[in-house]
A and B are shown apart, each in its own frame.
Chain A
Amino acid sequence: MAGEILRHWYHLPPFPGFPPDLSQYPDMQRIARTVQTSIGAKSLMAVTGIALLLFVLVHMLGNLQIFSEPEKINGYAHFLHSLGPGLWIARIGLLVIFVAHVWAAVRTSRASREARQVDYAYKKKDLATSYAARTMLMSGIIVALFLAYHLMHFTLGWVDFAGSHVGKLPLYTLQDGTEVPDVYTMVIQGFQHPLTAITYVIANLVLALHLSHGAASLFQTLGLRNRENAATFTKLGLAVGAIVAIGNCSMPLAILFGIVG
């Protein structure tokens, strides 16, 4: 399945003006040369993975304010929007990081897919790997699809299974008198619809699966893992997965079951 998607993906025609000419910038050339190697591409995936992981954690902490009074999360959303250009720099930065991560993922997955063209007749036994490790590409693709939906749902307000907030976000008056979009009500109303809540729960379990391998794997990729600390990193990966699963799923579930809102 993941392979099918890849097959279509990498036969896209080259993009005009890409890759850019770096002959004037030796440091950029070095980086470009490094990420062309298998190890360099993996490392790019690890470094961008760290950035995305940190974003996921901060994003989660911010959103957990939904468990507090509406003032909190509405004030927080207002603060983020008041950053103006800062917000756009962060958004574009995240997009670039995300694209780099996916580029490296597709590149390495393609190399690996082509490396074994005839498979074993007797299914190769898995002795050390995990379900999470074997499904990284698929879990990543699911996360990307969910991300597109998530942005269209809450950021752009284009889609909603209940149709409640599409195009008409209610206003909320902060204690200091400022009128701001009522993010609190938007989230509560959104997750009161079972289809929305379940979509978020499933997608975040998939993200947690991706991170349970990713957060451990990146230490090996960046050359920091060894016999002594290997078990610690494996546990760290599982812990990160569990934190993201519990933290991100708690919100839709609590709202769906009427514990919040």
Chain B
Amino acid sequence: MKLSLHVWRQAGPNDTGRMEQITATDITEDMSFLEMLDKVNEDLINEGKEPIAFDHDCREGICGMCSLMINGVAHGPESGTTTCQLHMRSFRDGDAIYIEPWRSRAFPVIRDLMVDRGSFDRVMQAGGYISVNTGNAQDANSLPIKKADADAAFDAAACIGCGACVASCPNGSAMLFVAAKVSHLGHLPQGQPERSKRVQDMVAAMDAEGFGACSNHYECEAVCPKEIPADTIARMNRDLLKASLCD
């Protein structure tokens, strides 16, 4: 396959950046999207040009490092799929592909397609954990948890913190991510003692990072590679109101 890529190039955080047209040749449809970029980068290096900087790590859909806005959709055209798990068979020979970094004030561009998602880490540090005295792990079944709760907690815990929800939200809101992290612990007995403080602190951190305000477009749910449901957002809203007004 031969493709016409339009890639965001930005030399550093303070560069203004621009879209650059790059032709990708000898692409096969069993390559992943990132392997396609690897191939393009090899060619660029051979030509003595700067390779395209992009984030990646596990390349198996679990680490949340890969990002990329592909033709106006976060993580590209396949639903429930990270960029690293997207394959070139989703594209046709001769296609034009626009590749851009996540756009959010809270995710400043570091270089080309790489953004700094430290804002997510700071939201996590504000309460995305439980405080326990560590020691041996307790017996597996000593703490009975309803199947429905365990499932709901697990669904929320599947969030890999990629930031696609923010990138695709018309408001640049991080509600799906924060809600996933709040609900994951809020569904479990271990999360109860800090439940009220957790939601208030994490929402305050989210607001302070400069994310926008959710207005229920559900674009996040549509692109989330882990298919986190927008239910978690409703649940966080309820938790926050209860904590902030009653506790």
Q: Which chain A residues have a beta carbon within 8 Å of chain B's beta carbons?
A: 30-31, 33-34, 37-43, 107-109, 111-129, 133-134, 136, 213, 216-217, 219-227, 230
Contacts and interface: CB of A to CB of B under 8 A. Distances in A.
A93 B8 CA distance: 52
In this complex, the interface size class of chain B, counting residues with CB under 8 Å from chain A, is 35 or more
Contact of A220 (B6, B103, B230): B230
A114 B72 contact: no
Contacts of A217: 215-216
Contacts of B105: 114-117
A120 B219 contact: no
Interface of B: 6, 8, 19, 69, 71-73, 98, 100, 103-106, 168, 170-173, 203-204, 206-207, 210-219, 221-223, 229-231, 233-241, 244-245
Contacts of B103: 116, 118-120
Contacts of A42: 213-215, 237
Contact of A34 (B6, B229, B244): B244
B98 A224 contact: no
B151 to A, nearest CB: 12
B28 to A, nearest CB: 24
Contact of A40 (B8, B171, B229, B241): B241
Nearest to A107: B213
A221 B223 contact: no
Nearest to A33: B244
A222 B214 CA distance: 12
Given A122-B100, A125-B71, A225-B231, A220 B216 contact: yes
B230 to A, nearest CB: 7
Contacts of B240: 37, 39-40
Given A129-B219, A133-B216, A220-B216, A39 B241 contact: yes
B213 to A, nearest CB: 4
A112 B203 contact: no
Contacts of B204: 37
Contacts of B100: 120-122
A126 to B, nearest CB: 7
Given A30-B245, A34-B241, A128-B222, A115 B215 contact: no
A120 B217 CA distance: 18
Contacts of B207: 37-38, 111
Contacts of B238: 222-224
Contact of A134 (B170, B237, B239): B170
Contact of B213 (A112, A216, A219, A222): A112
B245 A34 contact: yes
A219 B235 CA distance: 11
Given A38-B213, A109-B213, A111-B210, 17 more contacts: A38-B211, A40-B240, A43-B237, A107-B213, A111-B171, A115-B106, A118-B103, A121-B19, A122-B71, A122-B72, A127-B223, A128-B219, A129-B217, A220-B233, A223-B239, A226-B231, A226-B234
